[in-house]
Amino acid sequence: MAFPEYKNPVNSFTLTAPWTVERDSVQGTNFSVLQTGGYMEVYTLDNLKFTIPNGTTGTVEYTGNSIPINYAVRTLPFLPDQLAINNDNISSGRRRLGMLVYVHETDQVYQYTIPNYEQLWDAASGSTNITPTQTTVSSSTPGGQSFINAWLDNSIEGVSGATSSNARWKIFWGTDWQVTGGTIDYNPTGDLSLNSNSGNTVTISGLKTITGGTFFSGTSTLELYNNLGDTISVTGFTGGGGGTSGSSGSSGTSGTSGSSGSSGTSGTSGSSGTSGSSGSSGTSGTSGSSGSSGTSGTSGSSGTSGTSGSSGSSGTSGTSGSSGTSGTSGSSGSSGTSGTSGTSGSSGSSGTSGTSGSSGSSGTSGVGGETVGGEGVRIIGSGTTSDPYTADTIYNTNLSGDLEMNVKVGGIDAGTTVSDLTGKTLVDLFDDLLFPTVLPTYTIPEIQLQGLSSQTLEVGTTKSILVNGYGDKNDAGDFTSIRVRTGTTTPNTDVVIDNSPTESSIANIPDQFGFTNPNNPNKRFSSTQLSYTLTIPGPTAGNTSSTVRYDAEGDCGAGIAKLDNKGNTDTRTAGTNENTPQQARTDLNSNDVTITGVYPYWYGTSSTQPTISTIQDAISGGTANKSSITNNQDGTLTITFNADEEYCWFAHFEEYNTKQSYYVTDINKEDFCSSCLFNTFVTGSIDSPNGYWSGVNYKIYITNLRTTTTSFGSMQLRTTQV
């Protein structure tokens, strides 16, 4: 069945002009949620779902369905379910493909969609019935069942694991292109691939990241290398906290040329150095006054190292020599106490690059610590093995700080300002952009009734009631009380109150995002049992049946907030749905379990025309045929009389709708009347053959003529005329 050409829907009612109201009226023409498709507003995510209450048969008409579809549940096991599609072929009930619904609970808009709709439609061929006003699709074929299942699908993006690719209700992001995620690859071309809500991918090339660097202390230059092969030089360093020229640097207090350096106090030319008092050229050194080349030494006063020798007072190492007091390495020499590399020298402890120098460890512009070494580059570290230099590219835009984002991009929300992002590294920004915060979901606590199911029984029979209530805490706190209640219209009388319910273990709620669920271990709390024998009551005046209802009610504590995908605690206000931490509950109710009491209907045949009296005797005597208790007597009765040239009769409880005709085929049907096959009813009092009830008024119908029904089987007794 090929999908038909789309046409605007029509029905038997049309408007000749638009509806209006008085200009000063406070009334609208209709509620948006009552129209078919379009744009609507609902309060919670549950309002998007289509619910079929337990026990529903026929068309599902349930006040809890805010946006229903036109769906009918089979009334007998051999009858198929049916879905009615309006004659626009893309809507059913109030749902329409493409409709938009704003949900107050999440402050988001959702769109209803069935992506493979035409293929499902084609596959449903053979299970459809097309009329001018609608197309009915039944579950009689696999294609028809698949088509119906698509409309019954309640999946919502972001709920219970549903995603945009498989949810029936998808989050609507608007028609503009928006980034939904992406990946960054700092390869030689610096590619950033951004995914959009339209399914397309856009690649931006040329992004840079620092891959390494070298600091040259001689020129105070930091060279940084990026993935594109570029070199960035950062200059202007004038000192350093913990840098190479600091207190422990090569020219610092203990450096090569410092007070303890090679030419310092303890250095090569220091007091203990090579030329110091104890050094190789000192007083007692190899060339000193007592040394091998000193005054008394091997070479004496006139020796090579004597007074006039190369190491004498006027010698290379003498008082005026290159290493003497005034020499290159002397106290005033270039490496002396006041020399270039001396204690007070430019590289000494107090020098420009020394411990206290402007670029020293206590200086103001040292490389270590945290320093901005150029436009948009931040350098941190101390240059040691345990704390090496690292450089970050930071967001330092010249845009106005109060400029706001007008749409949400990735994980950065609309309304975020420039000042909110300024100072963040590009890594921080891409973390926020590509990895949005995902909040946890919660499993709400449940309470159930155990040991009893809803059923229909004959009035006067007995039923053993053995039932208890139980509650599964899930992501809430422990149950502190569980009660079993009963009543007729609603369960409102406590028959079991257990304020110390029995605790047992059940399956834990799964962890999320790799974080342990703080509400585990999960537990079930069970009440004591209600045990007694119920005699099924009869209907009260004007009713066709009686009801006795049961439910469970309980109180539980609050749950613990979970962590989001980034390890932060969920700060949403506690509530009662799956998108909030679970608040404490009182009077949490289970579904009702209902025992329904009815009177059966009766039927039979006779070779002679029966009377009210003979029918009363046949029923009370147990010779009449008895119906199934679960048969719905308010509508059509379907009876197989198996009459062979016999009179037929049937009787049903007087409060059920009167039967007015019989139907076998379009050429074998007739209304009830005094001269027709069936006469109109006569009321008679009936007693149960089992003593369950007595004196109950029934409507009794008797044929005026003999008939044969064996050739066609069953006969329909209808509440309307044919």
Q: Which residue type, as a one-letter code, is found at position 367?
A: V
pLDDT score at 632: 81
Instruction: Classify residue 330 as exposed, middle or buried by CB count within 10 Å of its CB (0-12, 13-18, 19+).
Output: buried
pLDDT score at 209: 79
Domain ranges in the chain are 32-171, 276-322, 446-596, 599-718
pLDDT score at 302: 40
Determine how β-strand 625-626 pairs with β-strand 602-606.
Answer: antiparallel
Please state the pTM of the whole predicted model: 0.47
pLDDT score at 423: 83
d(CA 455, CA 86): 35
Take residue 31 and report the two structure tokens written for it: 């509620």
Q: What is the DSSP letter of 33?
A: G
**Cβ-proximal residues to 239 (8 Å cutoff; 6+ apart), any chain:** 245, 352, 353, 357, 358, 359, 360, 363, 364, 365, 366
Q: Which residue type, as a one-letter code, is found at position 551?
A: D
pLDDT score at 442: 98
pLDDT score at 79: 78
d(CA 564, CA 572): 11
Take residue 163 and report the two structure tokens written for it: 């995603």
Q: What is the DSSP letter of 130?
A: E
Q: What is the mean pLDDT of each run of 10 residues along the chain (722 residues)?
A: 77 77 88 93 95 89 94 78 91 95 95 93 85 87 92 95 92 75 77 72 78 77 81 72 38 37 37 40 42 41 41 43 42 42 42 40 43 63 76 84 89 89 85 88 97 96 97 98 95 95 97 97 97 96 94 98 96 97 96 96 97 97 91 91 97 96 96 97 97 97 96 95 95
